[in-house]
């Protein structure tokens, strides 16, 4: 790395790039509160059916059965709230992987700034025990040993070497490559000291793309929920359907009178 590159960006250029590209941070997830999760759970047909059965037991005087079903309904709400709350924390956990501060060289001077203020082109000093604050390339220094399990799931660290002179840097390289110059946000440096040049920040990083994918997940009804909804609709349509084929009292009387006349009944015909 030449002296001009080590000089880093000027404060004015860094401010301009920050205004254009935005902060180096993941977007805040849209979280659902406990009350909203509980309300959505209580609207499910299976829960309504369970509560209705419990109410029927209580009306018929079976206190034990009704209370047992009611406790089961409350327990199911608690389990759903616990599971949904854990899912909501997934995106927040990704935000916690980011380094809060970074050592950066700007205008030839080393400074410690908030990681959210990093921009593409910044020169960052990284070392053992630190998490990388953004995606970049290893420009100079030692051969690093980096734990990329947050992105790949592989517990074994991989080696990262400095970018060779004349070598083409590809920011789209996938994480997990051994003996490459690419560095990724949220990964942990296990061994070594080096100088990195930032290439991507915020949602554009590999870690940010995972966050974008999680935020784009829509809550769809499971096959059991769709089947339960169909059952509830069937039960709702049963009274009207039964009324269509159940004979009325007048029809029963007319049919009975006709049958009696055919058998020679002494009843006078109307």
CB atoms within 10 A of CB 111: 13
User: Does the CA dihedral 85-87-92-98 come out positive or negative?
Assistant: positive
Domain boundaries 3-24+99-215, CATH class: mainly beta
pLDDT range class, residue 93, cuts 50, 70, 90: low
Q: What is the pLDDT of residue 225?
A: 58
**133 Cβ contact list (under 8 Å, min separation 6):** 24, 98, 99, 101, 102, 115, 118, 124, 185, 198
Q: What is the pLDDT of residue 90?
A: 65
Give percent of the chain above pLDDT 90.
Answer: 27
pLDDT digits (tens, 9 = 90+) for 33-62: 777 777 777 777 777 777 888 888 888 888
CA gap 134, 199 in Å, rounded: 8
**How confident is the model over 109-115, as a mean pLDDT?**
91
pLDDT digits (tens, 9 = 90+) for 200-250: 998 888 888 877 666 666 666 666 556 655 655 554 444 444 444 444 444
Domain-by-domain residue ranges, the chain? 3-24+99-215, 27-97+220-250
């Amino acid at each position: 790395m030449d002296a001009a590159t080590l000089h880093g960006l000027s404060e004015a250029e860094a401010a301009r790039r920050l205004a254009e590209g935005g902060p180096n941070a993941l977007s805040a997830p849209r979280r659902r509160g406990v009350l909203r999760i509980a309300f959505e759970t209580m609207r499910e047909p299976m829960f309504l059916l369970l509560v209705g059965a419990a109410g029927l037991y209580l009306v018929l005087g079976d206190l034990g059965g009704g209370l047992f079903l009611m406790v089961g309904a409350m327990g199911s709400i608690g389990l759903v709230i616990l599971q949904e709350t854990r899912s909501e924390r997934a995106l927040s956990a990704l935000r916690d992987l980011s380094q809060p501060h970074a050592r950066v060289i700007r205008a030839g001077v080393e400074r410690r700034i908030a990681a959210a203020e990093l921009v593409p082109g910044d020169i960052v000093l990284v070392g053992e025990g630190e998490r990388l604050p953004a995606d970049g390339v290893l420009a100079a220094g030692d051969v690093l040993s980096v734990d990329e399990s947050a992105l790949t799931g592989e517990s074994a660290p991989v080696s990262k070497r400095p970018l060779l002179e004349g070598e083409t840097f590809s920011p789209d390289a996938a994480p997990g490559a051994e003996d490459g110059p690419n560095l990724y946000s949220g990964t942990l440096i296990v061994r070594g000291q080096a100088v990195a040049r930032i290439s991507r920040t915020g949602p554009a990083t590999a870690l940010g793309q995972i966050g974008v994918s999680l935020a784009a997940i829509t809550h769809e009804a499971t096959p059991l929920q769709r089947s339960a909804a169909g059952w509830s609709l069937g039960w709702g349509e049963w009274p009207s359907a039964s009324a269509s084929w159940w004979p009325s009292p007048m029809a029963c009387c007319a049919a009975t009178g006709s049958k009696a006349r055919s058998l020679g009944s002494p009843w006078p015909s109307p």
